[in-house]
Amino acid sequence: MNILKLFIPVLPVILLMANAVCKTSAQSLVIVPPQIDTVIVGETRSENIKIINRGTSPIQIQQISLLETSGSVRLSGSSFAFMLNGRDSISFTMQITPRTRGIFRCNFMVQGSESASAEFSIVARFRNNSEFAAEIRPSLRVSADTVSPGDYVWIELYLAGADNNTLRDLLRVTQSPSFTAVFSCNGNLLQTKDDRVVPIEPTPFSSYTSGTRAFRIITLPGSASPLFTFIMQAMAGDAEQTEIVLNSFQWGSTQALHPVPVNILPPINSRVFVKNCTAGGKRLFTAAPATRIALHNTFPNPASTHVDIAYSLQEAQPVTLALYNAQGNFIRAIKSEYHEAGEYTERVAISDLATGTYFVRLQGTNGVQQKAVSVVR
């Protein structure tokens, strides 16, 4: 007996139905499918498919192939020729690695001087025998719940009540082990300081609507909890506290061939208190740029060699002026120093920049402003 091992990465295959159907154009060539009991999603199992020549004459095999309805089964070396002698048999080894639960139908075909096919179904289930790979509760927590303007706050996104084994199971069964999270807060009190927080339109840093600033995270999780840590800076704003809300959370990619069903429970949000100066009463700053910091029009715009950036400050404070591309990636710092209250103009050389849209970002203790600049060549 000859044994040929073909490694077949199968996403979902497991429990073989006993009533496999074999179709042959002659009685000599027979396919014997494997007898498989339940296999767990994310685990790998090897099983053999046997081809038997019951006749006495050799059969020339031109090609074998394995088709699976979801497109997740591939047969290595599916195109080759060999001779199967009379009264002989040959076995092919399948590597079965399901990525999600369900029933999957396979069709194993042999073509040559005689042809045959065998159709069979495979069932995969999760270890806990439920419809979900896992049940998770995405949550937020902060490094300090009370801060002063200018302080940095580390915010962790984690799975409440889940241990590292839960996360490892999720990573093991997920085709696209990424997650997307959208969170929001009072945009006048907290500003992001982490480049990994991907922008939401219309600005390259976040969306800003009625004082609420929203951010999106799209990334691969770490191997342990927390899933992700990002940094924000507290500012004097129009309130004394802000809730940090996890608006949405998605595990895995919606474009995955077999999206893993994960039961996502309602999140646990967090909250930060910002201590403002109370001398003479509470000092809260409204969201109106003119009362805090203001980034005026850039000139010229479009520009090719340089751009003049005009800005003003209502109060003395440390100021950072920086340039970002349209994707929100940091290009370079323009200025970072302490400013007295007043009007300022900064000329910035841009002759080294490629054609496109860029953003000038002005950040102070009392707020953040940004303007778009078009570079033309």
Rg from Cα positions in the chain: 31
Please name which of 149, 151, 170, 173 lies closest in space to residue 159, comparing C-alpha atoms.
170
In the CATH scheme, what architecture does the domain 134-274 have?
A: Sandwich (2.60)
Determine the topology of domain 289-375 in CATH: Immunoglobulin-like (2.60.40)
Position 24 confidence tier, pLDDT thresholds 50, 70, 90: very low
HSE at residue 42, side-chain half, CA atoms within 13 A, is: 16
Task: Give strand pairing partners of 2.
Answer: 90
Span 153-209, pLDDT tens digits: 888 888 887 666 666 667 666 655 678 888 888 877 887 665 556 545 444 455 656
Position 4 confidence tier, pLDDT thresholds 50, 70, 90: very low
Span 62-118, pLDDT tens digits: 988 888 766 566 676 555 789 999 999 998 888 887 777 777 788 899 999 999 999
Domain range list for the chain: 2-125, 134-274, 289-375
Determine the topology of domain 2-125 in CATH: Immunoglobulin-like (2.60.40)
Q: Do domains 2-125 and 134-274 have the same CATH topology?
A: yes
**CB distance 284 to 38 below 8 Å:** no
Q: What is the mean pLDDT of the chain?
A: 76
Beta pairing class for 262-264 and 29-32 = unpaired
